[in-house]
Amino acid sequence: MKDTSLTARHIPDRLDSPLRAALLSWPSLLLAVAIALFVLNALASPYFLSPWALSDATFNFTEKAIIALAMALLIISGEIDLSVASIIALASTMMGLALQFGVGTPGLVAIGLLTGAACGVFNGLLVTRLALPSIVVTIGTMSFFRGISYITLGDQAFKGYPPSFWYFGQGYVWWVISFEFALFLILAVLFYVLLHRTNFGRQIFVIGNNPVAARFSGVRVERVKFLLFCLTGLMSGVAAVLLTARLASTRPSIAVGWELEVVTMVVLGGVNILGGAGSIQGVVIAAFIMGLVTFGLGLLNVPGIVMSIFIGALLIAVIALPILVRRLRERLTR
């Protein structure tokens, strides 16, 4: 009798080559989109290809992208922080208060970073020690942190930051390369190594895929998540220093709505909103895409409210598209 045990399943003649897999990966597709947007912006505006115009375009996304690097790790672990924009407001407020007492540039930077880190510690303790859902906790602290800023400042604004402080948000390290952009590139490399080349990064992926299995494997889940909240708070403090220096002022409404754009960058970059999958290179390319889109629309005098609508629609699309594609594939296989 003929043996048909191997005919029940399809065995491909060959596996996809590494080159084919790389070209069809999400970061590669994002890179193609970024190149297309660059070309379209160059055709739409004669000012876009100016080196200084391109340099100005980086200011549209570097501060948000720095937070997105840490947010990516947090979301991959299965958590989220929606208070990052409010942390910026509180850190900026603390720097403004310190300015009134004559604190110099090094002290202002330290206060901004420490305030951001302290907010991250607060969020992390509530989530890991009390076992509260991170989305609920950070929605609460989002109002709490910004509320402190409004109570402290009211309708006024803190100004008078020293020129030496301005450098962090307005200075250039070489030609058209701003300090902000150079810092973002350095942090992107560090976060890439942390997530994709260290044991700590592997633990983040394991926790995001199955936290119960991670615990049985000896991974200290709560500790890792706590550190990620601290890291996200610290990066929000870095963004607060950069943004406050760029604006040379502190207002309670600073960075309103940034949490939406940061999450959009992360999800557009291929990070699974439910955790367990993602890459830093995808987030970096997604940051460039959002910068190209917002700067291009700005050159065309598109109102800010239209940009907000676009970002909201983009967030919905990047979350819904993989689900729709998966359902379509399931129907076709049936």
Give the integer Cα–Cα distance in Å for 233 and 229: 6
DSSP, collapsed to helix, strand or coil, labels residue 161 as: coil
Give the integer Cα–Cα distance in Å for 85 and 260: 9
pLDDT in tens, 24-36: 677 888 888 889 8
Domain boundaries, the chain: 54-321
Mean pLDDT, residues 309-317 taken together? 78
- pLDDT of 305 above 90: no
Work out the pLDDT band at 20, boundaries 50, 70, 90.
low
Window from 13-27, 161-175, 270-284, 300-314 with minimum mean pLDDT: 13-27
pLDDT of residue 281: 94
Q: What angle do CA 106, 111, 114 make, to 5 degrees?
A: 120
pLDDT in tens, 105-162: 999 999 999 999 999 999 999 999 999 999 999 999 999 999 999 999 887 888 889 9
Q: At what angle do helices 179-196 and 51-58 cross, to 10 degrees?
A: 50
**From 3.30.70.20, 1.10.3720.10, 3.30.930.10, 1.10.3470.10, which CATH number describes the 54-321 domain?**
1.10.3470.10
Query: Pick from 181, 295, 171: which is nearest to 245 by CA?
Result: 171
Residue 158 is given by DSSP the state B
Instruction: Note the maximum CA span of the chain.
Output: 93
pLDDT of residue 247: 93
pLDDT of residue 119: 97
Work out the percent of the chain whose per-residue pLDDT is above 90.
Answer: 59
Contact assessment for residue 108 and residue 161, using Cβ atoms and an 8 Å cutoff: yes
Total residue count of the chain as it appears in this document: 334
Query: Pick from 200, 159, 182, 191: which is nearest to 280 by CA?
Result: 191
pLDDT of residue 6: 42
Supply 300's token pair.
């065309």
Q: How far is CA 52 from the centre of its chain?
A: 25
Mean pLDDT, residues 192-207 taken together? 95
DSSP for 144-212, written as a single string: HHHHHHHHHHTT--B----HHHHHHHH-EEETTEEHHHHHHHHHHHHHHHHHHSSHHHHHHHHHHH-HH
Give the integer Cα–Cα distance in Å for 135 and 127: 9
Across the chain, mean pLDDT equals 88
